[in-house]
Chain A
Amino acid sequence: MRRAPVAYSAIAVVIATGVVACGGSDSGGSGGPSGSSGSSAAGKKQTVTVTITSKSCLPDVATIPSGPTTFKVVNKDAGDVTEAELVDGNTILGEKENLTPGLSGTFSLNVKAGKYQLYCPGADTEKVDFTVTQAAGATAAATRGAEVTAALSTATTGYATYVRQQVADLVTTTGAFVTAVKAGDLDQAAKLYAAPRLDYERIEPVAESFGDLDPAIDARIDDAPDVASWTGFHRLEKAIFADRSLAGTAPIADKLNTDVGKLNTLVAKATFQPAQIANGATELLDEVGKTKITGEEERYSKLDLLDVQGNVEGADKAFTLLEPALKSLDPKLASTVRTRFTALYKALAPYKEGTGYVNYDKVTQDQRRGLSQAVDALAEPLSQVAGVVVS
């Protein structure tokens, strides 16, 4: 009952923006190769020469590929035109002013693809169209070294292995739990409820990718279309911890066992892309913020912090597998995410009790807010990993 599964959100919104960042300051303006810009490889600086005359301001090329660009502005002989600007509508992206005849100067920008204009106030034709196309080979994947590609490949097989192991464990722990439920042993069922929850929460986004399986296994009462068709762990959780009666729950227990078995069959064939793994990690943390911190997920057993642990461990595993590649691709991001994982574990530590965690009722409003903030602090940089490791 959640948003689209691990399937990396294909519909990221692309914002039309001001599209440039100030480039380095090339004060002086001399030295750049005059004239020719040609096609520049991504990341390599190119130069556009703009000549100001009383008639207009003319670039030596009307179309360039995106990327860092130096605009060299030359005033040949225009007495009443002394500046040239690169504009996007009414927004000035870069400019060189106070160029009297004979003078030249530069401004530098990292220009993104788009339609712009060169603007020289006072000329007969003040605006001239200027087009920037998407540079070829500008995507991250194209420039990757063999080592990184190999590390990402290791991550994908590693994650598949991890998921299969978790689900295999889930089959075992669910089996024991279901046996206790069907035996009508309330205390034993209560005791065995925690283990499969932890296994499941570690790989929850994967289960979510298989359509109806996640709702069948993990729906909260609010997610079920009606109480009669409500199945899965939380239906049994209510029977054990709230109703204190297992009467009539045998079919639910059997179905849970069957559904977990189906999940096991499905994950045997599943493969994962690096971006999927990264997005899955982010989704695990979104789960924490959405239903765990609020105490909705385990409202009868009060084991919410155990679910949190499962989600965080699952996210950590996914990130750890991607970490070697990420360290090459974006070391700062890799180190930020690692630091935030450490901080989140530190935030959870005070609530540990025995082999698990304190009853969630004992966690105050202020403490819950603190946990939620630690989760957000991690999830924000973690959400940037997919775009870096995407194939």
Chain B
Amino acid sequence: MVERFALSRRRALFGAAGFAGAGMVAATAAGCSDDSSPATAAAPRGIVPFHGAQQAGITTDAQDRLAFAAFDVSAGVSRDQLRELLVGWTAAAARMAAGQAVADDAAAPHSPPRDTGEAVGLTAGNLTITFGVGPSLFDGRFGLAGRKPAALADIPPLPGDNLDPLRSRGDLCVQACADDPQVAFHAVRNLRRLAQGTAVLRWFQLGFGRTSTTSDGQDTPRNLMGFKDGTNNIKREDTTSLDKHVWVGADADQAWMRGGTYVVTRRVRMLLESWDRDFLQDQEQVFGRTKASGAPLGAAEEFDPVPLTVKGADGEPVISADAHIRLAAASTNDGATILRRGYSYTDGVNQETGQLDAGLFFIAFQRDPRTGFIPIQRRLAASDALNEYIVHTSSAVFAVPPGVRDPKDFWASSLFTT
């Protein structure tokens, strides 16, 4: 077990195979060619191609670290200035994803360096930078009101929410994932710097450990409660499920979102002090899994089918009615399923209580939150046994446009042109 984990972890970090990810076209990750013909060579190690039909950072093998930021566009910024920001951001993101500095810096002792410098000498660390736009961007400031997809509605209040408005929502979002936390931080920091005067940082969340697998080649990591959760995630190899549940199809009400997806983020604080006092059997019943092996209760191995209908000697289901695994299962949600890509986070000590402020920064991609996250979470919020130990402290939804096709394209270009 330990051996297998170590092996596949190394593969996740250094393996070259499959970086392109499902649906990703091979493209010049670095370098320039006057005829912009796609490079035929495989991407260099540790570099995830930035250009493609879909944005990277969704089906890309989940990297180890997260830096996720939401921005608000500043008052008085015009539609053209917003577009200019996205053009500049895209160029900078493409460079950083290729392991380069944000801009060329000639020796200019009297100017601040264009790149902040902390990623110099580090590898790209499989950096992906994924961009999205929030519902508030369509409020009329930029003449985009008619472009708002129906699926991009604010997440309604849900039972058990205790949301901090300053950590929720936002006009724009940037998700930077990398295997090196400094690389992920550098990406957000430099995009933020480029946005000075055009957009302000609204909130910023770091995640220190992935909690999801997005590929069959990755082992399921444990969350801060010590459990494997998300075993039955949508994997990049499963293109049928991706097309059905993640990518926005040709039937979308807004053409600019075709090939895109929607991301929902929730900062789920875990009441770890209480959880750590709960006895093992109860912990396992809360999740519906065995803590040590990750196998569903009543099954032998982690990836065995979840025996939702099996009853124990006492006549009760072995996986109880309020177990997390049952309520989250697609089969009990009319087939609703989402691609989870969350990270464990901590922001130190909650100064009010002296308890740990730590938990899961939940990230889920889906083709429509109204048939994905919202019904699933509504059901979980109503009866999940886990609710005793968690509280949702932030909430946001963003439309994630399709990928940046080539170096001339930019994030959400279809929003401005289609």
Contacts and interface: CB of A to CB of B under 8 A. Distances in A.
B104 A110 contact: yes
A29 interface: yes
A48 B197 CA distance: 41
B196 interface: yes
A17 B105 contact: yes
Interface string A379-391: 1110110111010
Contact of B31 (A19, A95, A98): A95
A85 interface: yes
Given A92-B30, A380-B196, A387-B111, A25 B105 contact: no
Interface in A12-40: 12-23, 25-27, 29
Contacts of B407: 22
Contact of B109 (A12, A106, A108, A340): A12
A195 B111 CA distance: 34
Interface stretch (A122-130, A160-168, A206-214, A370-378): A370-378
B44 interface: yes
B193 A380 contact: yes
B104 A112 contact: yes
A134 B106 CA distance: 9
A138 B37 CA distance: 32
20 contacts: A12-B111, A12-B113, A13-B117, A15-B101, A17-B105, A18-B30, A18-B100, A20-B32, A25-B36, A90-B44, A98-B37, A105-B34, A106-B34, A107-B32, A112-B104, A275-B110, A373-B74, A383-B112, A384-B112, A390-B110
B309 interface: no
A169 interface: no
A8 B197 contact: no
A383 B106 CA distance: 16
A206 to B, nearest CB: 19
A91 interface: yes
Nearest to A366: B166
Given A12-B108, A14-B109, A383-B112, A377 B100 contact: no
Contacts of B198: 377
B312 interface: no
Contacts of A11: 109
B106 A92 contact: no
Contacts of A275: 110
Contacts of A19: 104
A95 B39 contact: yes
A275 B110 CA distance: 8
Contact of A96 (B33, B105, B109, B197): B33
Given A376-B196, A380-B197, A387-B110, A15 B34 contact: no
Interface of A: 8, 10-23, 25-27, 29, 66, 85, 90-98, 105-110, 112-113, 134, 138, 275, 336, 340, 343, 373, 376-381, 383-384, 386-388, 390
B225 to A, nearest CB: 34
Contact of A25 (B34, B107, B200): B34
Please list the 5 inter-chain residue pairs (A to B) with the smallest Cβ-Cβ separation, ordered nearest first: A387-B111, A92-B31, A377-B197, A22-B32, A17-B101
Given A15-B117, A94-B32, A387 B197 contact: no
Nearest to B120: A15
A15 B74 contact: no
B196 A94 contact: no
B35 interface: yes
A373 B200 contact: yes
A12 B32 contact: no
Given A113-B107, A336-B197, 18 more contacts: A12-B108, A12-B110, A13-B113, A16-B120, A18-B30, A18-B95, A23-B32, A25-B36, A90-B44, A95-B33, A105-B35, A108-B34, A138-B106, A343-B76, A378-B197, A380-B193, A387-B108, A387-B112
Contacts of A10: 109
Given A12-B112, A15-B120, A109 B32 contact: yes
Interface residues of B, number: 38
Contact of A27 (B35, B99, B111, B193): B35
Interface string B249-288: 0000000000000000000000000000000000000000
Interface in B195-214: 196-198, 200
Interface in B97-149: 98-101, 103-113, 115, 117, 120
Contacts of B197: 336, 340, 343, 377-378, 380-381
B101 A377 contact: no
Contacts of B74: 373, 377
Given A15-B117, A380-B196, A91 B104 contact: no
B56 to A, nearest CB: 19
A73 to B, nearest CB: 10
A14 B107 contact: yes
A127 to B, nearest CB: 15
A15 B39 CA distance: 28
Chain B contact residues, majority secondary structure: loop
Nearest to A138: B106
Contact of B33 (A97, A112, A343, A378): A97
Contacts of A13: 113, 117
A113 B44 CA distance: 24
B418 interface: no
B40 interface: yes
Contacts of A26: 34
A99 to B, nearest CB: 11
A365 to B, nearest CB: 10
Contacts of B193: 380
B404 to A, nearest CB: 15
Contact of B105 (A14, A97, A373): A14
Contacts of B120: 15-17
Contacts of A106: 34
A70 B109 CA distance: 28
B216 to A, nearest CB: 29
Contacts of B32: 20, 22-23, 93-95, 107-109
A214 to B, nearest CB: 23
A66 B107 CA distance: 12
Most buried by A among B34, B44, B108: B34
A180 B2 CA distance: 78
A18 B34 contact: no
Contacts of A25: 34-36
A110 B106 CA distance: 11
Contacts of A94: 31-33
Contact of A107 (B33, B106, B108, B112): B33
Contact of A97 (B39, B44, B112): B39
B104 A18 contact: yes
Interface in B1-60: 30-37, 39-40, 44
A29 B35 CA distance: 10
A6 to B, nearest CB: 13
Given A16-B120, A22-B407, A386 B34 contact: no
Contacts of A110: 104
Nearest to A391: B110
B111 A17 contact: no
A109 B104 CA distance: 12
